[in-house]
Amino acid sequence: MNYLSDNAYLAIGVETTAGVAVIPDVFVPLMSESVKTVLNHSADRRMKGLNWKANDLLRGNRMHEGQITILADADNLGHVLNMVMTKGTTTGDATDGYTHPFTVGAGDTYTFEIKKGNFVKRYFGVYVDEVKIGFQDGQMTLTLTISAMGQVSVASVGIALSGAVTSLTLEDNYDIQPNRGLVVGDVITVGGVDVTLTSVDAGGYAVGFTSTSITAATGSSVVLKPLTVSNPALSDPFYLGNTLFGFGVDESAATTASGARSTATPVYDVEITIKNNLFKQNGSNRFDPAKIVPQTREAQITITQLLEDEEQMQFWLNRTKQAITMVALGQNINPDFSTQEKLTLKFNNVKLLEGEAPLEVGSLIKYVQNFEVLYDNSDAAAMSASLINNTAAADY
């Protein structure tokens, strides 16, 4: 049987404890994904009296990493910001929308689940190493580079099952704790039968369920069954056409400039990259990363404008401080049109790394600017974010 990518899904869930999996309950439509488990198997090269390279493989340290690209609607964007920044106290209500502030700092870890054919790959302890905010065909996109502390997807029966049974022991060919990442409430398929887990043994081998008749030989596959997809009514993504950019000598001036179309600066392309520079290290106790920790944060902004005067060239040569505020407006939240979905990104101190204006015959001169986002002593912060959406604080 072949499987169509369009039938896949991405589901995410906030973890209470980093690296302790949950059953995801937020479904996010995917554009693309390339998350994989790097097993780092190697040929067993020990000398065994054989005239051949190897007769088996040895385990290596594992990594779970890759990229996911989604469209940035106001609600799933909130989860992405919650992964990469620290969320403050939410205000507002369901009628007029919830306002979520974000500052530089550690975000929450998540469990990601990606359907692949008739099974799913669940990654837990997911951290965001980097997020790129850009626009494709005028629609805001989010490309996340992630790393995870572990994964569970398919396993094998460790002790044969026959008749009415209430537990299953998993083989340890992949991991010495093969049930890691499974949680109570998961549905697994074994011997062609679906069972719902009522317990996950702390020893790492067994899972429990209500008495069920199962016949399965040692080595038979055990599959984490896909969830039933529950797609919410989706908002449109944010659009470049509804986004305003304000430039100023400081955050206050930039925010004022972004407040109206008449004072905002037209921008024709933009990419914002926020990096956590994760420390990822294998160590004792796990084949998976023993620790994933954000290190020094940083951000860059690339903007394309039409060249209109020499000011930005002057700023580049002189390393002049500027501030940028981006305001993206979305759909109306309440019936009286008094509140809109709204993303605000403030960069308090940016300076130009590069400013190039290449010439092409018959074309207006475009000015491509690469900004480094710097810490601002006056505001005691490099950047901040605010999001108004329909997602309550309890959902993050």
Token readout for 143 is 């490309």
Tens of pLDDT, residues 192-238: 999 999 999 998 999 999 999 999 999 999 999 999 988 767 789 99
What pLDDT, on a 0 to 100 scale, did the predictor assign at position 388?
96
Q: What whole-number distance in Å separates Cα of residue 79 and Cα of residue 71? A: 13
Q: What whole-number distance in Å separates Cα of residue 278 and Cα of residue 275? A: 8
Q: What whole-number distance in Å separates Cα of residue 94 and Cα of residue 91? A: 10
Q: Half-sphere exposure of 157 toward its Cβ, with a 13 Å CA cutoff?
A: 19
How remote is the C-alpha of 152 from its chain's centroid?
A: 18
CATH architecture for residues 240-395: Roll (2.30)
Domain map of the chain by residue range? Answer: 158-219, 240-395
Tens of pLDDT, residues 141-180: 999 999 999 999 999 999 999 999 999 999 999 999 999 9
Give the DSSP H/E element, type plus range, for residue 75. helix 74-84
Looking at per-residue pLDDT, the higher value among 218 and 119 belongs to 218
Over range 258-286, report the average pLDDT. Answer: 93
What pLDDT, on a 0 to 100 scale, did the predictor assign at position 356?
87
Instruction: Give the rounded percent of residues in the chain with a pLDDT score beyond 90.
Output: 83
Residue 275 has pLDDT above 90, yes or no: yes
Q: What whole-number distance in Å separates Cα of residue 383 and Cα of residue 386? A: 11
What pLDDT, on a 0 to 100 scale, did the predictor assign at position 140?
97
What pLDDT, on a 0 to 100 scale, did the predictor assign at position 335?
80
Average pLDDT score over the chain: 94
- Which residues, other chains included, contact 65 with Cβ-Cβ below 8 Å and sequence gap of 6+? 35, 36, 38, 129, 145, 146, 147, 148, 280
Centre a 10 Å sphere on the Cβ of residue 236 and count the other Cβ atoms it contains: 14
Centre a 10 Å sphere on the Cβ of residue 89 and count the other Cβ atoms it contains: 8
How remote is the C-alpha of 377 from its chain's centroid?
A: 30
With bands split at pLDDT 50, 70 and 90, how would you rate the model's confidence at 33? very high
Give the DSSP per-residue string, 224-292. EPPPPP-PPPPPPBPBGGGEEEEEESSHHHHHHHTTSTTTSPP-SEEEEEEE---EEEE-TT-SSEEEE
Centre a 10 Å sphere on the Cβ of residue 217 and count the other Cβ atoms it contains: 10
Residue 123 has pLDDT above 80, yes or no: yes
Over range 19-41, report the average pLDDT. Answer: 94
Q: What whole-number distance in Å separates Cα of residue 143 and Cα of residue 273? A: 9
- Which residues, other chains included, contact 295 with Cβ-Cβ below 8 Å and sequence gap of 6+? 276, 277, 278, 279
How remote is the C-alpha of 223 from its chain's centroid?
A: 24
Q: What whole-number distance in Å separates Cα of residue 119 and Cα of residue 154? A: 8
Tens of pLDDT, residues 288-332: 998 999 999 999 999 999 988 888 888 888 889 999 999 999 999
